[in-house]
Amino acid sequence: MAWFCSGSTNRELVENLYREGLIKSERVKNAMLMVDRAHYAPSNPYSDSPQPIGYGATISAPHMHGHACEYLLEYLRPGARVLDIGSGSGYLTHVLARLITDPSAENPAADADGHVIGIDHIQELNDIAIRNMRKSDDGRKFLESGKVQFITADGRKGWPQGGPYDVIHVGAAAAELHETLVQQLKAPGRMFIPVENAAEEGGSGSMLSRLGLSGGQHIWVVDKRADGSVHKEKVLPVQYVPLTDAPKR
């Protein structure tokens, strides 16, 4: 179904995803309508498929961005703090910023201290993400207000300086469910993370091995509840590029 949602414009793409139930919320639909994928995908921007953006990275298929926003939506309130790991082109970082901003506010900075931090270990991708966001008035306002920032660092370690986070989104497949990211979640807070289960086979000390799970990549939704307890749920089989070290120069 997802592969039949492509369009000739951003609006047609998003409307198709909404009609097919891959986007369920009006909030997510409206946020994606406000961020033109043509500013972020160098080719076939309105195809519902992943697209290469250089440096071994991709921009995920639009339906996966829709899924991520839907799973995280409960925690994407005005003023929320969000960490977008593996931010790549900057597309989802921009959509997340729209979701934590009151659309009736003239100044995006008005929503308390909420912000979205995009983190990638490749400086060139962060440079591209900033250029992409500057293609629209909306994106420029987010950058200039500090509502959106891009940091070059190892996303597997998170970015504690901007937390704790209501939401952590991970846009590349992790070798494990990194405990340091769970620690940077607020209580309550939620993380959406693809995990390479096969990498956990034989790793008796890892979190997933203790759960008795292995094989393939899956999206995990990790909730830190108000009392600090952590609940994990495996929700979707996926195929993401790996969350790895920065390439050697």
d(CA 217, CA 203): 16
Q: Under DSSP, is residue 142 helix (H, G, I), strand (E, B) or coil?
A: helix
Counting every residue written for the chain, the total comes to 249
Among the listed residues 166, 142, 162, 145, the one whose alpha carbon sits nearest the alpha carbon of residue 153: 162
Tokens of 164: 């704790």
Long-range Cβ pairs for the range 134-139 (8 Å, 24+): 135/39, 136/35, 136/36, 136/39, 138/34, 138/35, 138/94, 138/98, 139/35, 139/39, 139/94
Exactly one of 8, 60, 145, 204 is catalytic; which is it?
60
206 is catalytic: no
Task: Point out the residues that are catalytic.
Answer: 60
